[in-house]
Chain A
Amino acid sequence: MHIPDGFIGPGISAAAGLTAIGGFAVALRKARDYLTDRLVPMAALVAAFVFAAQMVNFPVLPGMSGHLLGGVLAAVLVGPWAGCIVMSLVLIVQALLFADGGLSALGLNIVNMSLIGAVVGYLVYRVLFRLGGSRPAAVPVLAGLAAMISVPLAATGFVLEFGLGGTVESISIGSVFWAILGTHVLIGIGEGLITFVVVGAVMRSRPDLVYGSPTFGGTRSEELVS
């Protein structure tokens, strides 16, 4: 889902850059409220894991692949604000070292995959978690479900940006919307499965380290949905 340079014009790219900087600043401040010594190696490891998992494109349709975004995965493991920082760092490293995602598009990619993918994705998780009765046993399934929903949400961010700042005038935005939505609903199934498996594995070994679970043993930020 990494947007290259050229898809979106400079105005919207710059606006997204400012939004990304603002969002990152809020995330730094909010993460400071709950990020203790104990969570530092975990958060760094989650960043490395999201980077690694994003390298693995899985087949989705003939001629099309997808890969994990990891926003909900990161947010459920280390909280929405540290999760937002994790996603932003991964996107910065990918754009600056691996030519994945344009430099001028970095703000757009952070808005879609970090602010929407992690923070809005975590909001979806909290709503599902409350609806599901707030049971620890339900954490992996609901994290997977929220992750599945987060992919089309993040992709819709792209469609909005494309509608506002797309560089080709003659394209029907409605047609782009349905095509992006359809493909990313399918990619979301992979996202959900991977998130379910990874969150499930951490829940089985160290439930006290899973921020989004009532078993979490650390300090917690004010919940987005209490």
Chain B
Amino acid sequence: MILFGAGLLVTLVVAVVIAQFASTEPDGLEYVAGQEGFLETAQDHPLAESPLADYGGDSKSNLILSGVVGVLVTLGLGYLVFTVVKSDKTSAEG
């Protein structure tokens, strides 16, 4: 439980604080696509205009919103899926 709390805190700090210092340069795939000449074949994502698109883009408030929403959604979805998936046996500790 302590590990979970500490882990969640670290996760939120990464998503909300450290993410603000992330590099905005293209990633490896995008960089190579630009150099090799197939970057322009990329199509706009249907959600490209969403405030969450590209984790808020240049907007600091949308970046923070993206971090919080993304962490809570993945945590909640993960909890849901893994609760359904888990075996019926319980571990020794219960």
Cα of A184 to Cα of B27 in the assembled complex, Å: 10
B91 touches A187 (CB 8 A): no
B31 touches A35 (CB 8 A): no
| A-B CB contacts (within 8 Å), total count | 225
The answer, yes or no, to whether A160 is at the interface (CB within 8 Å) is no
The answer, yes or no, to whether A176 is at the interface (CB within 8 Å) is yes
Take A44-B75, A55-B22, A67-B27 as given contacts and tell me if A97 and B70 are in contact as well, using a CB distance cutoff of 8 Å: yes
User: Which residue from chain B places its CB closest to the CB of A8 in the assembled complex?
Assistant: B41
Residue picked from A45, A56, A61, A184, most chain B C-beta under 10 Å:
A45
B interface residues, tally (CB under 8 Å): 64
Note all chain A residues with C-beta closer than 8 A to B81. 85, 89
Instruction: Write the A15-45 contact mask toward B (1 if CB under 8 angstroms, else 0).
Output: 0000000000000100111111111111111
Residue picked from B32, B53, B69, B94, most chain A C-beta under 10 Å:
B32
Take A37-B94, A57-B25 as given contacts and tell me if A6 and B31 are in contact as well, using a CB distance cutoff of 8 Å: no
Cα of A46 to Cα of B69 in the assembled complex, Å: 16
User: Which residue from chain A places its CB closest to the CB of B56 in the assembled complex?
Assistant: A98
Residues of B within 8 A of A (CB): 3-4, 7-8, 10-12, 14-15, 18-19, 21-29, 31-33, 35-38, 41-43, 45-48, 50, 52-55, 66-67, 69-79, 81-83, 85-87, 89-94
